[in-house]
C-alpha cells in the first residue's frame, strides 16, 4: 500500500501542471458530493445492502441461545436440590415405617396406625424425566452444585484466549459456527447422563466433564463474533452493528430464565436441554449456509454492498495476511488495552452478579419465591437489552452530527454508563422493597448498556486485526474475577 501511494504521488507529479489544475475543481466537486451522499447513507442501516445486519442478527441469536442455556442448569439444580431434600426425609420415614412393620410382624402385633406404605411419584420406582409434575430426584450437594456451575466457567476462562488467537490466523465465521455447534451438541447428552451412569457420583463426574467441554467450546464464541464483525463494520456503522450483535448476551438470561421454568413445569426438566440444543443446531445450519467470513469471499453478497464495504472497511483489515505476526509485546504494554481489560471485567462482573446471585438476594432479602424472582429479574435484563443497541445508534449519530472524535465519544459513553450504574447499584443497597430493588437494578443494568458503545466498540478501533484476541483475554480476565 505504501508503494502504491508513492507511485501514485509520482504519477501525479509527472502530470502536466495545466492538466492537474483543470482536473482538481471537478474532482473536488465530485468528491465533495460523494462524501455528502456517503455521510447521509452510511448512518443506521442506510448504506447499500443489508447483509452485515443479517450477520449481526445471527450473532445476536447465537449468543441468546448459548447464554440462555446457562439458565437451564441453575433452575434444574435448584429444583433437584429441593427434590433431594424431600426424598431424603421421605426415605427416612419409609425406613422407620418398614422397621416398625418388621418389628410388629416379629412380635405378632399390629401397629395401630400401621398401613402399607405406597411409593410416591418421583421415588426410586418412577422415572419422571418427561413428566410435568415429577422429576427424577438426584442427591445434589452444595459442593457438587459449585463444581458443576464452575466447570463451565473454568473451560470458558481457558478457551477464550485460545479462541481469540484462532481468529487471527483462521476463519472467524467458521470458528463461531463450530463453537455454537459443539456447545449445543454436548447439551443433548446432559439429560442422558442420569440414565446411563451407574450411580450419582458417576453422574456428577460425567456432567462436570460435559460442562467443562461446553465451556471450552463457548469460550471461543465472543472472540469469534468480534473477529467476524471486524470485516463487516464500516467506521460510521461500527457502533450500531456491534451493539446489535452483542445484545444476545442480555437476551439470553431474559429469555432463558422464564422459558426454562415454564418448559420444566410443563414437560419436565430434560426437555429444556433438547429444545435449546436443537435450536442452536438449526442456527448453525443457517449460519454456515448464509455467512462467509469477509465480503470479498461472499458469493451471495450484492455488488453495491460489496463495493461499499471494500471502500469503507480498511484494506489492511480486509486483506490482512493470515500469517500476520501477533505483536504480543505491544499488546501487553498498551495502556488502552489494559483499560479495556479493566472496564470489560467491571461490566461483566456486575452483569454476572446480577444474573447469577440476584435470585439468592431476592429470596434472602425479600423472601420472594422462584417464580416471582424470575419475573422481577426479567426487567433489568430487558432494560439492558434495550439500552445496548440504543447506545450504539446514539454513538454513530453523535459522530455524524457533531465534531467530536471517536475517542471522546467512547469515553463519554463508557463514563456515562459506568457512572450511572455505580450510582444505582449503591442505591440498591438501601432498597427495602422487591419492586424498588427491581427498578434500581433495571436502571443500573440499563444504563450499563450504554458503556458497550464505549469500551467494546473501541476494541475494533484500537486493534482491528487483533480485536478477537484482545476480547479473548478480556473475557478470560473477567471470568476469573
Cβ contacts of 79 within 8 Å, gap of 6 or more = 135, 264, 269
Structure confidence at residue 101 (pLDDT): 52
What confidence tens digit (pLDDT) does each residue in 237-291 have? 999 999 999 999 999 988 988 888 888 888 877 888 999 999 999 999 999 999 9
Q: What backbone phi and psi angles, to 5 degrees, belong to 193?
A: -60, -40
Q: Is the per-residue pLDDT at 33 higher than 60?
A: no
Average model confidence (pLDDT) across the chain: 79
- The 8-class DSSP code of residue 323 comes to T
Structure confidence at residue 363 (pLDDT): 84
Q: How many alpha carbons fall within 13 Å on the CB side of residue 69?
A: 28
Task: Tell me how far CA of residue 400 lies from CA of 38, 49, 169, 294, 310, in angstroms.
Answer: 11, 20, 34, 26, 21
Structure confidence at residue 74 (pLDDT): 60
CA–CA separation, 252 and 237 (whole Å) = 24
Q: Which residue has the higher pLDDT, 217 or 24?
A: 217
Does residue 60 contact residue 248 with C-beta atoms inside 8 Å?
yes
- SS3 for 241-306 is HHHHHHCHHHHHHHHHHHHHHHHHHHHCHHHHHHHHHHHHHHHHHHHHHHCCCCHHHCCCCCHHHH
Third-level CATH fold of 47-92+128-480: Growth Hormone; Chain: A; (1.20.1250)
Q: What backbone phi and psi angles, to 5 degrees, belong to 353?
A: -60, -40
What confidence tens digit (pLDDT) does each residue in 398-453 have? 999 999 999 999 999 999 999 999 999 999 999 999 999 999 999 999 999 999 99
Q: In sequence order, what DSSP letters do the residues of 354-408 get, joined into one string?
A: IIIIHHHHHHHHH---HHHHHHHHHHHHHHHHHHHHHHHHHHHHHHHHS---HHH
Residue with cell 471450552: 216
* pTM tops 0.95: no
What confidence tens digit (pLDDT) does each residue in 180-191 have? 999 999 999 988
3-class state of residue 71 by DSSP:
helix
CA–CA separation, 108 and 9 (whole Å) = 113
Cβ contacts of 55 within 8 Å, gap of 6 or more = 228, 229, 232, 245, 291
Structure confidence at residue 299 (pLDDT): 85
Over residues 451-477, the mean pLDDT reads 93
Q: Is the per-residue pLDDT at 329 higher than 70?
A: yes
> Which range has highest mean pLDDT (66-75, 149-158, 379-388)?
379-388
Evaluated on CA atoms 139, 186, 170, 283, the torsion sign reads negative
pLDDT interval class at 64 (50, 70, 90): very high
CA–CA separation, 378 and 122 (whole Å) = 31
> Which range has highest mean pLDDT (28-37, 118-127, 454-463)?
454-463
Cβ contacts of 362 within 8 Å, gap of 6 or more = 368, 372, 373, 376, 377, 434, 437
Q: Which residue has the higher pLDDT, 425 or 78?
A: 425
Structure confidence at residue 29 (pLDDT): 45
CA–CA separation, 13 and 236 (whole Å) = 33
Q: Is the per-residue pLDDT at 4 higher than 50?
A: no
Nearest to 388 by CA among 248, 255, 258, 218: 248
Task: Tell me how far CA of residue 117 lies from CA of 98, 101, 124, 137, 366, in angstroms.
Answer: 8, 10, 14, 19, 39
What are the cell numbers at 40?
447521509
Q: Is the per-residue pLDDT at 26 higher than 90?
A: no
pLDDT interval class at 382 (50, 70, 90): very high
Q: Which residue has the higher pLDDT, 30 or 377?
A: 377
Least confident of 157-166, 297-306, 353-362: 353-362
Q: Is the per-residue pLDDT at 172 higher than 50?
A: yes
The span from the first CA to the last CA of the chain, in angstroms, equals 42
Least confident of 146-155, 157-166, 224-233: 146-155
Does residue 82 contact residue 273 with C-beta atoms inside 8 Å?
no
Nearest to 441 by CA among 345, 365, 344: 365
Least confident of 49-63, 122-136, 287-301, 441-455: 122-136
pLDDT interval class at 344 (50, 70, 90): very high
Nearest to 417 by CA among 372, 470, 453: 453
Amino acid at each position: 500500500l505504501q508503494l502504491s501511494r508513492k507511485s501514485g504521488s509520482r504519477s501525479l507529479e509527472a502530470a502536466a501542471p495545466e492538466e492537474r489544475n483543470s482536473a482538481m475543481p471537478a474532482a473536488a466537486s465530485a468528491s465533495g458530493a460523494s462524501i455528502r451522499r456517503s455521510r447521509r447513507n452510511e448512518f443506521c442501516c442506510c448504506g447499500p445492502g443489508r447483509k452485515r445486519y443479517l450477520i449481526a442478527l445471527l450473532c445476536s441469536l447465537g449468543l441468546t441461545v448459548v447464554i440462555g442455556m446457562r439458565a437451564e442448569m441453575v433452575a434444574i439444580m435448584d429444583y433437584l436440590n429441593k427434590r433431594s431434600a424431600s426424598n431424603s426425609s421421605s426415605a427416612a420415614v419409609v425406613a422407620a415405617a418398614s422397621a416398625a412393620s418388621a418389628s410388629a410382624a416379629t412380635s405378632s402385633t399390629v401397629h395401630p396406625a400401621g398401613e402399607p406404605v405406597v411409593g410416591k411419584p418421583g421415588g426410586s420406582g418412577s422415572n419422571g424425566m418427561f413428566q410435568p409434575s415429577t422429576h427424577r430426584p438426584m442427591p445434589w450437594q452444595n459442593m457438587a452444585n459449585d463444581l458443576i456451575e464452575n466447570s463451565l466457567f473454568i473451560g470458558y476462562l481457558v478457551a477464550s484466549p485460545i479462541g481469540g488467537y484462532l481468529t487471527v490466523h483462521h476463519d472467524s465465521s467458521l470458528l463461531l459456527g463450530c463453537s455454537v455447534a459443539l456447545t449445543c451438541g454436548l447439551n443433548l447428552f446432559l439429560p442422558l447422563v442420569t440414565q446411563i451412569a451407574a450411580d450419582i457420583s458417576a453422574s456428577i463426574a460425567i456432567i462436570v466433564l460435559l460442562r467443562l467441554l461446553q465451556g471450552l467450546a463457548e469460550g471461543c464464541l465472543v472472540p469469534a463474533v468480534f473477529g467476524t464483525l471486524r470485516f463487516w463494520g464500516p467506521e460510521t456503522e461500527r457502533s450500531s452493528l456491534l451493539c446489535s450483535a452483542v445484545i444476545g448476551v442480555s437476551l439470553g438470561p431474559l429469555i432463558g430464565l422464564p422459558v426454562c421454568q415454564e418448559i420444566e413445569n410443563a414437560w419436565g426438566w430434560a426437555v429444556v436441554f433438547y429444545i435449546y440444543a436443537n435450536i442452536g443446531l438449526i442456527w448453525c445450519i443457517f449460519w454456515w449456509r448464509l455467512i462467509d467470513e469477509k465480503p470479498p469471499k461472499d458469493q451471495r453478497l450484492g455488488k453495491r454492498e460489496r463495493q461499499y464495504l471494500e471502500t469503507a472497511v480498511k484494506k489492511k483489515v480486509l486483506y490482512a495476511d493470515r500469517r500476520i505476526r501477533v505483536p504480543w509485546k505491544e499488546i501487553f504494554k498498551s495502556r488502552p488495552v489494559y483499560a479495556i481489560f479493566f472496564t470489560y471485567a467491571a461490566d461483566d462482573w456486575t452483569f454476572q452478579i446480577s444474573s447469577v446471585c440476584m435470585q439468592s438476594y431476592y429470596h434472602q432479602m425479600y423472601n420472594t419465591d422462584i417464580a416471582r424472582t424470575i419475573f422481577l429479574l426479567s426487567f433489568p435484563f430487558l432494560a439492558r437489552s434495550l439500552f445496548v443497541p440504543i447506545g450504539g445508534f446514539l454513538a454513530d449519530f453523535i459522530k455524524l452530527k457533531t465534531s467530536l472524535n471517536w475517542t471522546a465519544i467512547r469515553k463519554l459513553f463508557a463514563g456515562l454508563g459506568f457512572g450511572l450504574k455505580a450510582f444505582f447499584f449503591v442505591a440498591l443497597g438501601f432498597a427495602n422493597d422487591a419492586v424498588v430493588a427491581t427498578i434500581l437494578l433495571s436502571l443500573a443494568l440499563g444504563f450499563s448498556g450504554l458503556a458497550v458503545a464505549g469500551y467494546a466498540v473501541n476494541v475494533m478501533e484500537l486493534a482491528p486485526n487483533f480485536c478477537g484476541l484482545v476480547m479473548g483475554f478480556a473475557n478470560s480476565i473477567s471470568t476469573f474475577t
